[in-house]
Amino acid sequence: MAEEKSKKPKIDLKARLGKAPGGGVPGALPSGPGVPSPSQDGIGRISAPPSSGGMPAPVGIAPPAGIAPPPGIASGMGLNPFAPKPQPKAAPVSAEAQTIKVEVSEEIHDERKRAGRRALLYSAIAAVVFAGIGFFAGGMREVSKRDAKAVEGLKKLEPEVTDSAKKAEEILPILDDIEKGLLKDRKYPDSAIEKLSITIPNLNLDDKSFGTMPSDIQKATLSYMKKIENANEKKDRVKNLLGSLKKPIETSWAEDQKPVFKLGIIFRQAGSNTIGEVVQMKEPWEVAKSDWPKEPKIVVSVMQEGKRVPADQAAQRWEQDAIVPTDQTPLVIPIEPSSVSGFTDERTILQLVGAVNDVRVLLNGDETPGREVVGLLKEGQGLAKSIDSKVAKAAR
């Protein structure tokens, strides 16, 4: 009995646990269902499992020594779970399968031709459209440059408009002084002659790109410049009249205090009729004088070389009897001065006052119904405001 126990084989636990003695490579574990596990013989040796299907088992990569593979994975299988799966090779395609026969009908050929013509037409239209866009863009750039030049010109023009209007405004008080001296004070306005030497400066359109400015600005500017020119001309006329009419006007004022006979009338026969003619006394005499001359000299108009010229002629003052002379000596009757003052001295003053009023109306305008006129000052102010508005609008 003791001998039988001593002959009983020893069980190798390491071999049963899949570990070789001394740290060897562990044995393979069952790989899954359907795969037979290895069997042991009577002395503890492990035999390889029989292969199924007659195909040899694949040989895997051995794991590192001393590390057992995870349960359910055979030792011959790869341990990298992220390894790419092997892709099955595509079956080769035969040359007969690769050949595709395509038959195209005449309708398809015609459609292709029409499509080509349409593509050509569309290309031409696109070229025209893009050319138009390019032309428009180029035109817009030119317009932008033109507008920029116009704005710069307007900025230069506005100060000149304002300055000319201010200069024109300085003339108004001078005109008032002239009129007051002639009609109210009866004192000749000598100082006005020098004051009227000022000139309203006209606008200078050089270097202002005037042609690029808006049409309404151009029209208003030209109208304003024309009025400045007219105002300067009429102002100079007043100045010249002041210089030439001083003596006759001052004489008329003196004669208002002491009236004199300066004009007379003579009569002469014209066929069966009698006519009178106004003549100038060569040597006027005071009305208050008691001793009137009997043979005054007169100035008559005679024809010489086809035109009328003044000529001195002797006359007799009419006293009684016939007024038509019987000889060649005319009979003259003095004319009462106040009856003709409106045709002589006063008319000279009114001529000068009328010239003054012409300048005033041109500067201030006229609001009389039916004769409305926009004055230079108002037109200049309106032009300056329009220019400022255009410049401000362009800056936005």
Q: Fill in the amino acid letter for 392.
A: A
Q: Which residues pair with 300 in a beta bridge?
A: 311
- Provide the CB-side half-sphere exposure for 35 (13 A, CA): 13
Torsion angles phi and psi, residue 258, rounded to 5? -130, 90
**Which one-letter DSSP state was computed for residue 313?**
E
Can you give the pLDDT at residue 51? 47
Taking CA atoms, 207 is separated from 224, 288, 386, in Å, by 19, 70, 20
Q: How far, in Å, CA of 114 to CA of 127, rounded?
A: 20
Instruction: Report the chain's mean pLDDT, rounded to a whole number.
Output: 77
Which pLDDT tens digit goes with each residue over 1-41? 444 445 555 566 666 665 444 444 444 444 444 444 554 44
Residue position matching structure tokens 């209007």: 165
**Residue 165 CB partners (closer than 8 Å, separation 6+):** 376, 377, 380, 381, 384
The two beta strands, 316-317 and 331-334, are parallel
The proportion of the chain whose per-residue pLDDT surpasses 90, expressed as a percent, equals 31
Can you give the pLDDT at residue 135? 56
**Which one-letter DSSP state was computed for residue 311?**
E
Q: How far, in Å, CA of 315 to CA of 157, rounded?
A: 68
Q: What is the pTM of this model?
A: 0.55
Q: How far, in Å, CA of 71 to CA of 31, rounded?
A: 8
Which pLDDT tens digit goes with each residue over 96-155? 555 555 555 677 767 777 777 777 777 778 777 766 665 554 544 555 667 788 889 999
Q: How far, in Å, CA of 161 to CA of 37, rounded?
A: 117
Nearest to 352, CA basis, from 171, 192, 230:
192
CB 345 within 8 A of CB 249: yes
Count of helix runs (H) and strand runs (E) in the chain:
10, 10
